[in-house]
Structure 1
Amino acid sequence: MINTEVCFPRRQPKYCVLPLQGVGYGVLFLLGFLVNAAALRAFIAQRGSWTDTHVYMFNLAIADFTLVLFIPFRVYDAFDCLPKTYFCTFLMFIHFLNMYASMMTTAAISVQRYLAIRFPIQTRSWRKKKETAFVVCLVIWGLLVTICFIFREDNAPEKLWTCYERCKNIPLKLEFVFLIVFLGFLAPLLIVVFCSTQIISILKKLDDNSVQKKSTIGIVTANMIVFIFCYTPIHIGFLVNYFIPVPNDWQHKHIPAHLYLLVSEWIASTNCCFDSISYYFLLTRFYSVGAQ
């Protein structure tokens, strides 16, 4: 039987960081809402001429925008404690489900763009590209929802310290950590890095010194760096927090690994602002470069 009495949240000195979390996520909500709402509006306005690229980008915008829409609950929780119920479990899974949906969709876009640059003639002749993109997006959501359902009890209310944090003396299941680190992060990371470096290499070999080519290479490089910067810290944090020993009086101590995880989670969330901007410019350039 889990002792839920140790999970009282707001009387501990370490929670002086909560107002900072509230401000940080508040700023993120404002920026993310504006950027992703503008991206969704642009996609919907052009729905009559959608391609497979638009399907992937729309799925990416949906994932990012959904994450952003639920951020106000986190801001509220930072200033006024939300009760620990299954609604908190829902909020946590919504946050991470959309984060990983964004990562996997980014990987799918990287593959699609690599194929378009590596095999431009063949890809133009492929049929049902839009339908394939739609199926890929459905598979991504189906896989993530299934994983959330299987491990739903890992974030049950009795295992939470606050609405958004687990009790540190109750670690996640090892297989869950394995899935989120290797399937959720490392696989998309390797895909993004491979496809991006190949695209950069192919474009550099083109006999073209135009500003457009240089700009495209710069955007591909920046997008890869942003992906690594945003998502690497939080997965290091998952591993560190799983394997380091937790002191018996963890409720009363500042645990550096835990504070690192909180900061890295905010950093990961900032990617919802970068996605729409970077991929808008990236994909518009790919069409023109691939056509040359």
Structure 2
Amino acid sequence: MAIVFSTTQGLGYSLVFLLGLVVNGAALWAFVAKRVSWTDTHIYMLNLALADFILVLFLPFRIYDAFFCMPKTLLCTVLIFIHYINMYASILTTTAISVHRYLTIKFPLQARSWKRRKEAAVAVCLLIWVVLVSIVAVFHKDNLPEKLWTCYERCKNIRIVGSSGKKTTAGIVKANMIVFLVCYTPFHIAFIVNFFSRVPSNWRATYLPAHVFLQVSNWIASTNCCFDSISYYFLLKNFYT
């Protein structure tokens, strides 16, 4: 059972790595190589692409761990931090994009007259990274090697609009909302379930349903780095067609 689960997990993350590397590499090339008239939305989307791409770059460690079981060292602590920092950077950036587009539609005159929208977008993106890194720094002791079960697991102790430009905005918001719900809802439900689950003394000899659910939902959350390309499509299509 354990071997089958680990193999399935390794294959699943391999698929995410290959697909994520392609779509996020293409997205970064489209943002950086093609000289477009940058907007605040482009800045948010670039931040999202960077978070996804960094997460993808470190997935080979997770794939290796699934097949060969990496030793519990400080490298594991760093890998856990990188994984969750970039996952939550993606979540918070997606939230920022949705809030930003809502405010633009709700208050169009004020949005057009505000001349520091790009600076504000950069500030929000930097704030996201600073907050996440700070949280990791504060709680780093909870993920030290002696507190890990395996290299990646810690011991247990939450209106449609009509014009073409607005259609693009609506498309971005809808795509972000769907990806957000599909990818991240199972993970946070599983996290809560595992928090309240009792772990038997012989946990190493069995895979608890709650534990399996957490691992599967974590993989689903990682697939977000592939599905964010839907949002890139809606944004870039508006500038390149």
Deviation at 1:254, TM superposition (A): 2.2
CA contact (8 A) 2:171 2:231 kept: no
Aligned pair partner of 1:160 in 123, 148, 154: 148
Q: Distance in 2 between matches of 1:126 and 1:46?
A: 26
Over 3 Å counting, the alpha-carbon distance change for 1:283 and 1:218 in structure 2 is: closer
**What's the offset of the Cα at 1:286?**
7.5
- Return the letter of the residue paired with 1:30: L
Task: Note if contact 1:216-1:285 (Cα within 8 Å) is conserved in structure 2.
Answer: no
**Which of these residues, 165, 182, 185, is aligned with residue 229 of structure 1?**
182
Once the two structures are superposed, residues 32-88 of structure 1 have per-residue CA deviations (whole angstroms, 9 ceiling, x without a partner) of 000001111111124563221111111101100000000001111111121110100
Structure 1 residues 58-73: aligned runs within 5 Å: 58-73=46-61
Aligned-residue offset at 1:15: 4.0
Query: What are the Cα deviations for residues 119-176 of structure 1, in whole angstroms up to 9, with x where unaligned?
Result: 222211111111111110111000000111111111111111221122xxx324xxxx
- Which amino acid counterpart does residue 223 of structure 1 have in structure 2? N
Structure 2: runs of 5 or more not aligned:
none
Verify the 8 A CA contact 2:98 2:176 in the aligned structure 1: no
Call closer, same or farther: CA 1:137–1:214 in 2, change over 3 Å. closer
Distance 2:221 2:237 in 1: 26
Identical pairs, percent: 59
Q: Distance in 2 between matches of 1:122 and 1:267?
A: 39
| Gap change, CA 1:133 and 1:126, over 3 Å in 2 | same
1:260 Cα deviation (Å)?
A: 0.4
Partners of 1:149 and 1:38 in 2: CA distance: 32
Provide structure 1 residue ranges, at least 5 long, that are not aligned to the other structure: 1-12, 173-180, 182-200, 288-292
1:24 maps to which residue?
12
Structure 1 pair 15–152 and aligned structure 2 pair: CA distance change class (3 A): farther
Worse-superposed segment, 148-157 or 62-71:
148-157
Q: Are the aligned partners of 2:101 and 2:173 in contact in 1 as well (CA < 8 Å)? A: no
Count of aligned residue pairs for this structure pair: 239
Q: For the Cα contact (< 8 Å) 2:160–2:170, is it kept in 1? A: no
Change in Cα spacing, 1:115 to 1:286, as seen in structure 2 (3 Å) is: farther
Deviations 1:93-124 (A, max 9, x none): 10011000000000111111112222222211
Residue identity opposite 1:280 in structure 2: Y
Q: 1:248 to 1:80 in 2, by over 3 A?
A: same
Cα pair 1:56 1:105 within 8 Å, conserved: yes
Q: Distance in 2 between matches of 1:136 and 1:68?
A: 23
- Tell me the residue number matched to 1:279: 231
Residue aligning to 1:177: none
1:94 lines up with 2:82 in the alignment: yes
Give the 5 Å matches for 1:164-175: 164-166=152-154, 170-172=155-157
For the pair shown, the structure with the greater C-alpha radius of gyration is: 1
Matched, 1:134 2:146: no
Correspondence list, 1:1-292, <5 A: 13-46=1-34, 49-166=37-154, 170-172=155-157, 181=158, 201=159, 203=161, 206=162, 217=170, 220-275=173-228, 277-284=229-236
2:231 is paired with a residue whose SS is helix
**Contact 1:22–1:75 (Cα < 8 Å) also in 2:** yes
For residues 253 and 79 of structure 1, what CA distance do their matches in structure 2 show? 18
Shift of 1:221: 3.2
Separation in 2, partners of 1:120, 1:284: 21
TM-score, scaled relative to structure 1 = 0.76
Shift of 1:226: 2.1
Q: Could you say if the C-alpha distance between residues 110 and 214 of structure 1 is closer, same or farther in structure 2, counting changes exceeding 3 Å?
A: closer
Please report the RMSD computed on the Cα atoms of aligned residues, expressed in angstroms. Answer: 2.2
Alignment partners' CA distance in 1, 2:9 and 2:37: 41
